[in-house]
Chain A
């Protein structure tokens, strides 16, 4: 028996094709549709189109199904299955057959990636514009008040301090942005060399000593004499950033600790503070550049900038891991590992 050419289209189509009765029961599926739903949890015993749809989108699919009448014979909607990638469905009702012909198109991988990138870019612009505007607001505000000549001597000194500190923050932010870009474009390993963990730690502590003294915070260090293979300036940058954060979030008179220990073929660095700690839901996100600003526009911590995203990039380039453990009220410990040379 010869099958008709339409039959081949049905079998070969990369789009999802199926026929559904008016109650939503699946009648016939093409191989693409079968493949799509076979991978889902417990397909066994499920026979309705609606059974496979993601619970969040169930109502959408049900409404679409119910909207079909002899007057309105087509409906278009998008639903998710278990994965995040939605499928766009066009349902066409053939009233005389009591059948719905359903065509589902899935977005290609590239298209999905392009959209993710686009979203990431928008989020970055929104973070950066907020992070830039905050110090800019205080610099602009302080200078305008100073220039106006309307403030008293005492306030004048304070405004100068604020403007100076804010311009430092602005400079740091711009540097971090440039560094993020350059870490991205560097060929991993091109500036790697043998370095001593103890030396990196000492250099990082020297760099934050001024800030620590200013904030009346002690820095305690337990060095580890071991050799590693990495980019010394980038690793010092990670240590410095973690130390600076620890100092900033600590109360005057307290101590921050920098330790390193060997664990098998890894060196485990630790930067501990006794600050206010980080909420559990923020612990993962603080390293994630694109997750810092969520839809409710709330951030895990003020002035966190792009530094931790940069730290993670650098540590990952060294085949290491970075994470934080924290108890609210008792402080946070940032850990990262670098393989021993």
Chain B
């Protein structure tokens, strides 16, 4: 069973993502409401992947990503961005920041797990 850390400041998005991944794929979901909380939970919980919102107050998704990369404890955890905007970093910067892909909002909760699995080359 996979364990996914969802970092999003919107509580409802956290909940819907959580229900989606738990119901559809049977994965376990850990949530964090800010970049800061996400960094702590990523280090402590060592999830299999991180779903990271780009637009967050205080520390945004890309800043969080850089901090995840800078810490040897969290560097290896693959990150997928969740974003409502189309302004994503350039593809070549992706790799450097440990980003394995992006999921556009609104996402389809029934295929979200599939999308994650595909991006990370996991068998469902």
Residues of A participating in the B interface, judged by any CB pair closer than 8 Å:
126, 129-130, 133-138, 140-142, 144-145, 148, 150-152, 155, 158-159, 162, 165-166, 279, 293, 296-303
The verdict on A145 contacting B109 (CB below 8 Å), with A155-B19, A297-B87, A299-B55 known, is yes
Bound form: Cα–Cα A279–B58 in Å: 9
Bound form: Cα–Cα A240–B23 in Å: 39
B20 interface residue per 8 A CB criterion = yes
The verdict on A137 contacting B106 (CB below 8 Å), with A126-B85, A142-B16, A302-B57 known, is yes
B60 CB contacts on chain A under 8 angstroms: 296-298
Q: Is the beta-carbon distance between A159 and B16 smaller than 8 angstroms?
A: yes
- The chain B residue with its CB closest to the CB of A279 is B58
- The chain B residue with its CB closest to the CB of A162 is B12
Q: Is the beta-carbon distance between A137 and B57 smaller than 8 angstroms?
A: no
Residue from A133, A148, A298 in contact with B58 in the complex, judged by beta carbons closer than 8 Å: A298
Listed by A's residue number, 6 A-B pairs whose Cβ atoms lie within 8 Å are: A141-B13, A144-B109, A148-B110, A150-B23, A165-B12, A299-B57
B73 CB contacts on chain A under 8 angstroms: none
Q: Is the beta-carbon distance between A298 and B55 smaller than 8 angstroms?
A: yes
Given contacts A145-B20, A155-B23, 20 further A-B contacts (CB under 8 A): A129-B84, A133-B106, A134-B10, A134-B84, A138-B13, A138-B16, A141-B13, A141-B17, A145-B19, A150-B23, A151-B19, A152-B23, A158-B19, A159-B19, A296-B63, A298-B56, A298-B60, A301-B57, A302-B10, A302-B57
A135 CB contacts on chain B under 8 angstroms: 12
In order of increasing CB-CB distance, the 7 nearest A-B pairs are A133-B84, A141-B16, A137-B106, A298-B60, A138-B12, A137-B105, A140-B106
Q: Is the beta-carbon distance between A134 and B57 smaller than 8 angstroms?
A: no
Q: Is the beta-carbon distance between A297 and B15 smaller than 8 angstroms?
A: no
Q: Is the beta-carbon distance between A130 and B55 smaller than 8 angstroms?
A: yes
* CB of B22 to closest CB in A, whole Å: 9
Bound form: Cα–Cα A261–B85 in Å: 44
B37 interface residue per 8 A CB criterion = no
Bound form: Cα–Cα A130–B86 in Å: 10
Bound form: Cα–Cα A140–B58 in Å: 27
Bound form: Cα–Cα A151–B24 in Å: 9
- The chain A residue with its CB closest to the CB of B109 is A141
Q: Is the beta-carbon distance between A162 and B16 smaller than 8 angstroms?
A: yes
* CB of A167 to closest CB in B, whole Å: 11
In the complex, how many residue pairs between chain A and chain B have their CB atoms under 8 Å apart?
94
B76 CB contacts on chain A under 8 angstroms: none
Q: Is the beta-carbon distance between A137 and B85 smaller than 8 angstroms?
A: no
Q: Is the beta-carbon distance between A130 and B85 smaller than 8 angstroms?
A: yes
Bound form: Cα–Cα A150–B108 in Å: 14
B17 CB contacts on chain A under 8 angstroms: 141
Q: Is the beta-carbon distance between A137 and B55 smaller than 8 angstroms?
A: no
Bound form: Cα–Cα A158–B18 in Å: 12
B55 CB contacts on chain A under 8 angstroms: 130, 293, 297-299
Interface string of B1-39 (1 = CB under 8 A from A): 000000001101101110110011000000000000000
Q: Is the beta-carbon distance between B57 and A133 smaller than 8 angstroms?
A: no
Bound form: Cα–Cα A144–B110 in Å: 7
Q: Is the beta-carbon distance between A141 and B57 smaller than 8 angstroms?
A: no
Bound form: Cα–Cα A148–B20 in Å: 11
B109 CB contacts on chain A under 8 angstroms: 141, 144-145
* CB of A123 to closest CB in B, whole Å: 12
Residue from B12, B19, B84 in contact with A166 in the complex, judged by beta carbons closer than 8 Å: B12
Bound form: Cα–Cα A4–B12 in Å: 75
Bound form: Cα–Cα A148–B110 in Å: 8
Bound form: Cα–Cα A145–B109 in Å: 7
B70 interface residue per 8 A CB criterion = no
A299 CB contacts on chain B under 8 angstroms: 55-57
- The chain B residue with its CB closest to the CB of A142 is B16
Bound form: Cα–Cα A20–B27 in Å: 70
B59 interface residue per 8 A CB criterion = yes
Q: Is the beta-carbon distance between A141 and B107 smaller than 8 angstroms?
A: yes
* CB of B105 to closest CB in A, whole Å: 4
Bound form: Cα–Cα A166–B62 in Å: 26
B54 interface residue per 8 A CB criterion = yes
* CB of B88 to closest CB in A, whole Å: 10
Q: Which of B13, B16, B23 has the most CB of A within 10 A?
A: B16
* CB of A130 to closest CB in B, whole Å: 5
Residue from B63, B84, B87, B106 in contact with A141 in the complex, judged by beta carbons closer than 8 Å: B106
